[in-house]
Chains A and B, each alone.
Chain A
Amino acid sequence: MTELLAIVTLGLMFSLFLGLLRILRGPGAGNRMLAAQLIGTTGVAMLLLLSLLLDQYALIDVALILALLAAVAAAAFTGQQRESGHD
Protein backbone atom coordinates (compact mmCIF):
# COMPACT_ATOMS: atom_id res chain seq x y z
CA MET A 1 0.00 0.00 0.00
CA THR A 2 2.78 2.48 0.85
CA GLU A 3 4.21 1.76 -2.58
CA LEU A 4 0.95 2.85 -4.16
CA LEU A 5 0.74 5.93 -1.95
CA ALA A 6 4.25 6.95 -3.01
CA ILE A 7 3.39 6.50 -6.69
CA VAL A 8 0.19 8.52 -6.37
CA THR A 9 1.99 11.29 -4.47
CA LEU A 10 4.52 11.50 -7.27
CA GLY A 11 1.69 11.45 -9.81
CA LEU A 12 0.05 14.38 -8.05
CA MET A 13 3.35 16.24 -8.19
CA PHE A 14 3.42 15.77 -11.97
CA SER A 15 -0.17 16.95 -12.18
CA LEU A 16 0.81 20.01 -10.18
CA PHE A 17 3.61 20.69 -12.64
CA LEU A 18 1.01 21.01 -15.40
CA GLY A 19 -0.90 23.48 -13.26
CA LEU A 20 2.31 25.49 -12.88
CA LEU A 21 2.51 25.92 -16.64
CA ARG A 22 -0.94 27.52 -16.60
CA ILE A 23 -0.09 29.82 -13.71
CA LEU A 24 3.01 30.99 -15.57
CA ARG A 25 1.26 31.36 -18.92
CA GLY A 26 -1.94 33.02 -17.76
CA PRO A 27 -3.18 34.83 -19.76
CA GLY A 28 -4.42 37.31 -17.23
CA ALA A 29 -4.97 37.16 -13.51
CA GLY A 30 -8.20 35.13 -13.72
CA ASN A 31 -6.50 32.15 -15.33
CA ARG A 32 -3.64 32.38 -12.88
CA MET A 33 -6.07 32.35 -9.97
CA LEU A 34 -7.68 29.20 -11.36
CA ALA A 35 -4.31 27.51 -11.51
CA ALA A 36 -3.50 28.64 -7.97
CA GLN A 37 -6.79 27.08 -6.87
CA LEU A 38 -5.81 23.77 -8.46
CA ILE A 39 -2.37 23.95 -6.88
CA GLY A 40 -4.06 24.41 -3.50
CA THR A 41 -6.33 21.39 -3.95
CA THR A 42 -3.41 19.30 -5.16
CA GLY A 43 -1.46 20.46 -2.11
CA VAL A 44 -4.28 19.25 0.14
CA ALA A 45 -4.24 15.85 -1.56
CA MET A 46 -0.45 15.59 -1.33
CA LEU A 47 -0.48 16.46 2.38
CA LEU A 48 -3.07 13.73 3.02
CA LEU A 49 -0.95 11.15 1.21
CA LEU A 50 2.24 12.34 2.92
CA SER A 51 0.56 12.04 6.32
CA LEU A 52 0.16 8.30 5.72
CA LEU A 53 3.45 7.87 3.92
CA LEU A 54 5.49 9.59 6.62
CA ASP A 55 3.28 8.46 9.52
CA GLN A 56 2.52 12.07 10.53
CA TYR A 57 -1.17 12.37 11.22
CA ALA A 58 -0.81 16.06 12.09
CA LEU A 59 -0.43 16.71 8.36
CA ILE A 60 -4.16 15.98 8.07
CA ASP A 61 -4.72 19.09 10.22
CA VAL A 62 -2.51 21.08 7.85
CA ALA A 63 -4.64 19.85 4.95
CA LEU A 64 -7.78 20.82 6.88
CA ILE A 65 -6.56 24.38 7.33
CA LEU A 66 -5.61 24.70 3.66
CA ALA A 67 -9.05 23.33 2.75
CA LEU A 68 -10.91 25.72 5.04
CA LEU A 69 -9.01 28.70 3.65
CA ALA A 70 -9.10 27.63 0.00
CA ALA A 71 -11.63 30.32 -0.95
CA VAL A 72 -9.87 33.24 0.76
CA ALA A 73 -7.54 34.05 -2.14
CA ALA A 74 -10.36 34.09 -4.70
CA ALA A 75 -12.49 36.25 -2.40
CA ALA A 76 -9.64 38.70 -1.84
CA PHE A 77 -8.89 38.71 -5.56
CA THR A 78 -12.44 39.53 -6.63
CA GLY A 79 -13.56 41.57 -3.62
CA GLN A 80 -13.69 45.32 -4.06
CA GLN A 81 -12.98 47.85 -1.36
CA ARG A 82 -15.73 50.37 -0.69
CA GLU A 83 -13.88 53.53 -1.62
CA SER A 84 -11.40 52.19 -4.10
CA GLY A 85 -11.61 54.65 -6.99
CA HIS A 86 -12.60 52.57 -9.99
CA ASP A 87 -15.92 50.78 -10.31
Chain B
Amino acid sequence: MTDILASLLIMAGLFFFMAGSIGLLRFPDLYSRLHALTKADNLGLGLLIIGLALHLRDPLIALKLLLIWLAVLAAGATSAHLIARHARRREKHV
Protein backbone atom coordinates (compact mmCIF):
# COMPACT_ATOMS: atom_id res chain seq x y z
CA MET B 1 0.00 0.00 0.00
CA THR B 2 2.70 2.49 1.00
CA ASP B 3 4.71 1.30 -2.01
CA ILE B 4 1.87 2.24 -4.34
CA LEU B 5 1.72 5.68 -2.74
CA ALA B 6 5.52 5.95 -2.94
CA SER B 7 5.43 5.02 -6.64
CA LEU B 8 2.78 7.63 -7.32
CA LEU B 9 4.75 10.31 -5.51
CA ILE B 10 7.96 9.43 -7.35
CA MET B 11 6.18 9.57 -10.70
CA ALA B 12 4.59 12.88 -9.76
CA GLY B 13 8.07 14.12 -8.93
CA LEU B 14 9.30 13.14 -12.37
CA PHE B 15 6.32 14.95 -13.89
CA PHE B 16 7.32 18.22 -12.23
CA PHE B 17 10.93 17.79 -13.29
CA MET B 18 9.75 17.32 -16.87
CA ALA B 19 7.43 20.32 -16.57
CA GLY B 20 10.27 22.42 -15.20
CA SER B 21 12.60 21.45 -18.03
CA ILE B 22 9.99 22.04 -20.70
CA GLY B 23 9.18 25.39 -19.12
CA LEU B 24 12.84 26.31 -19.06
CA LEU B 25 13.03 25.49 -22.74
CA ARG B 26 9.73 26.96 -23.94
CA PHE B 27 9.11 30.06 -21.82
CA PRO B 28 10.01 33.32 -23.56
CA ASP B 29 12.20 35.15 -21.04
CA LEU B 30 14.48 34.69 -18.05
CA TYR B 31 11.92 35.65 -15.40
CA SER B 32 9.23 33.22 -16.51
CA ARG B 33 11.90 30.53 -16.87
CA LEU B 34 12.86 31.17 -13.26
CA HIS B 35 9.35 30.22 -12.23
CA ALA B 36 9.50 27.02 -14.24
CA LEU B 37 12.77 26.16 -12.56
CA THR B 38 11.42 26.55 -9.04
CA LYS B 39 8.73 23.98 -9.84
CA ALA B 40 11.40 21.34 -10.41
CA ASP B 41 13.34 22.37 -7.30
CA ASN B 42 10.43 22.62 -4.92
CA LEU B 43 7.79 20.19 -6.09
CA GLY B 44 9.70 17.76 -8.27
CA LEU B 45 12.47 16.96 -5.83
CA GLY B 46 10.10 17.27 -2.86
CA LEU B 47 7.62 14.68 -4.13
CA LEU B 48 10.42 12.39 -5.22
CA ILE B 49 12.04 12.59 -1.79
CA ILE B 50 8.79 11.92 0.08
CA GLY B 51 8.24 8.93 -2.19
CA LEU B 52 11.72 7.55 -1.59
CA ALA B 53 11.47 8.10 2.17
CA LEU B 54 8.13 6.22 2.23
CA HIS B 55 9.67 3.39 0.26
CA LEU B 56 12.80 3.09 2.41
CA ARG B 57 11.08 3.42 5.80
CA ASP B 58 14.37 4.23 7.51
CA PRO B 59 14.07 7.30 9.77
CA LEU B 60 17.78 8.18 9.57
CA ILE B 61 17.86 8.15 5.78
CA ALA B 62 14.52 9.96 5.71
CA LEU B 63 16.10 12.71 7.82
CA LYS B 64 19.04 12.98 5.41
CA LEU B 65 16.66 13.11 2.45
CA LEU B 66 14.67 15.87 4.15
CA LEU B 67 17.90 17.81 4.72
CA ILE B 68 18.76 17.44 1.03
CA TRP B 69 15.36 18.80 0.05
CA LEU B 70 15.63 21.77 2.42
CA ALA B 71 19.12 22.53 1.14
CA VAL B 72 18.01 22.43 -2.50
CA LEU B 73 14.95 24.56 -1.67
CA ALA B 74 17.04 27.23 0.03
CA ALA B 75 19.76 27.11 -2.62
CA GLY B 76 17.20 27.24 -5.42
CA ALA B 77 15.41 30.25 -3.95
CA THR B 78 18.71 32.03 -3.30
CA SER B 79 20.08 31.33 -6.77
CA ALA B 80 16.85 32.44 -8.42
CA HIS B 81 16.94 35.67 -6.43
CA LEU B 82 20.61 36.31 -7.24
CA ILE B 83 20.27 35.58 -10.95
CA ALA B 84 17.10 37.67 -11.30
CA ARG B 85 18.70 40.62 -9.49
CA HIS B 86 21.80 40.30 -11.65
CA ALA B 87 19.69 40.29 -14.82
CA ARG B 88 17.66 43.32 -13.67
CA ARG B 89 20.83 45.30 -12.92
CA ARG B 90 22.23 44.51 -16.34
CA GLU B 91 19.02 45.65 -18.01
CA LYS B 92 19.21 48.97 -16.18
CA HIS B 93 22.80 49.44 -17.26
CA VAL B 94 22.11 48.90 -20.95
Chain A bound to chain B? yes
Interface size on B, residues (CB 8 A): 47
Number of A-B contacts (CB under 8 A): 139
Closest to B8 in A: A4
* CB-defined contacts of B52 to chain A, threshold 8 Å: 48-49, 52
Which DSSP category, helix, strand, loop or mixed, fits chain B's interface? helix
Interface 0/1 of A67-87, CB less than 8 Å to B: 111110111011000000000
Please report which residues of chain A, range 35-59, place their CB below 8 angstroms from some CB of chain B when the two chains form the complex. Answer: 35, 37-38, 41-42, 44-45, 48-49, 52, 57
CA distance A14 to B11 in the complex (A): 14
Q: Pick the residue among A42, A45, A73, A78 that contacts B86 (CB under 8 A).
A: A78
Given contacts A30-B30, A78-B82, contact A18 B21 (CB under 8 A): yes
Closest to A39 in B: B21
Q: Contact check, B55 vs A15: say whether CB atoms are below 8 A apart.
A: no
Chain B interface residues (CB < 8 Å from chain A): 3, 6-7, 10-11, 13-14, 17-18, 20-22, 24-25, 30, 33-34, 37, 40-41, 44-45, 48-49, 52, 55-56, 61, 64-65, 67-69, 71-72, 74-76, 78-80, 82-83, 85-87, 90
9 nearest CB pairs, A to B? A70-B75, A74-B79, A71-B75, A18-B21, A67-B71, A15-B21, A78-B86, A78-B82, A67-B68
